[in-house]
Structure 1
Amino acid sequence: MVRTAPEVALLVKRLQHAHHRALSASLADLGISLVQWDTLRHLARHPEASLHELAQLTFQTDQSFGSLAARMVDRGLLQRMPGPGRVVRHRLTELGERLRQEGQGRADRVFAETFAPLDQGELDQLGDLLETLVAARLAVRC
């Protein structure tokens, strides 16, 4: 079957939307949203990241992420620490780390279910193709 670029783009978007719905449903009983779990995940990978860095990693504006981070601090999921100058760094709390780990297991199951129809070669090929497209898109922005 011959597919157009817009058709493929729509399929990527549909898969992303399906993942968001499935991940949100799987995290609901933990009392965290997908964007909160994504914040915990990125902060675990980038300890003491600034608000701006976390906003970029989670595809949010600095302002919207600032509100989210404040709510997460209030819930005991994050700690704020002074950084150089006016920069505020963030760190996971014990509760934040526990919810990150539990959420990761749930995300892993969602992704395993999604990609189960593909064999390892197909999964590698899909990953390579998406990596090529992301790199090309980033090169255009520079």
Structure 2
Amino acid sequence: MTVDLERLGRSLKRVQHRDHRALDAALRETGISLVQWDALRAIDRAPGSSAHALAAASFQSDQAFGTLASRLVSAGYIERRPGPGRRIEHHLTTDGHDALDAGRRATDRVWRALFGSLDSEQRMTLQLLLDRLLASEPGDDAG
């Protein structure tokens, strides 16, 4: 049996698109967008990080993250502090932690629904397969 790789790639994209739409709708109810929540998660995972590191962690350009960070500062979710040299560090505020927690509750509901048709063993298999795909760059011989 052969697998149509184009169909496989499209299926991954469709699942991701459905996931993003559902996450964005659930997060909107908490008052933040998926992009904002992703940035808050990145800052929470690595407090004090530079804008460049956070942009990479949240799949954005440096310029897009800078604009987003300014909006997050204005909303009271993050603060910027001087770091070593010219570095500017990013930290969550209390409101930022609250927004992140509300987002986690909302996204947990979405993910439970998205993966609800898979049992625990199937979820583990899917995670292992995705980890394997992510362990090598396209074109690598690994995998």
Relative to the length of structure 2, the TM-score reads: 0.92
For residues 100-141 of structure 1, give each alpha carbon's deviation from its aligned partner in whole angstroms, at most 9, with x where no partner exists: 00100111111111111111111111111110011012794x
CA distance in 2, matches of 1:122, 1:63: 39
For residues 1-40 of structure 1, give each alpha carbon's deviation from its aligned partner in whole angstroms, at most 9, with x where no partner exists: 7432221111111111111111110111222110101111
Aligned to 1:92: 92
Q: Secondary structure at the match of 1:79?
A: strand
Gaps of 5+ in 1: none
**How do residues 1-142 of structure 1 correspond to structure 2 at under 5 angstroms?**
2-137=2-137, 140=140
Question: How big is the shift at 1:89?
Answer: 0.5
Question: How big is the shift at 1:83?
Answer: 1.1
Question: How big is the shift at 1:85?
Answer: 1.4
Fraction of identical pairs, as percent: 43
Runs of 4+ residues deviating >2 angstroms:
none
Q: Tell me which amino acid in the other structure corresponds to 1:77.
A: Y
CA distance in 2, matches of 1:106, 1:29: 8
CA distance in 2, matches of 1:50, 1:129: 32
Instruction: Kindly report the root-mean-square deviation, in angstroms, between the aligned alpha carbons of the 2 structures.
Output: 1.5
Question: How big is the shift at 1:84?
Answer: 1.4
Q: Secondary structure at the match of 1:85?
A: coil
What is the aligned residue count? 140
Question: How big is the shift at 1:44?
Answer: 1.0
Relative to the length of structure 1, the TM-score reads: 0.93
CA distance in 1, matches of 2:138, 2:72: 31
CA distance in 2, matches of 1:139, 1:24: 32
CA distance in 2, matches of 1:41, 1:61: 17
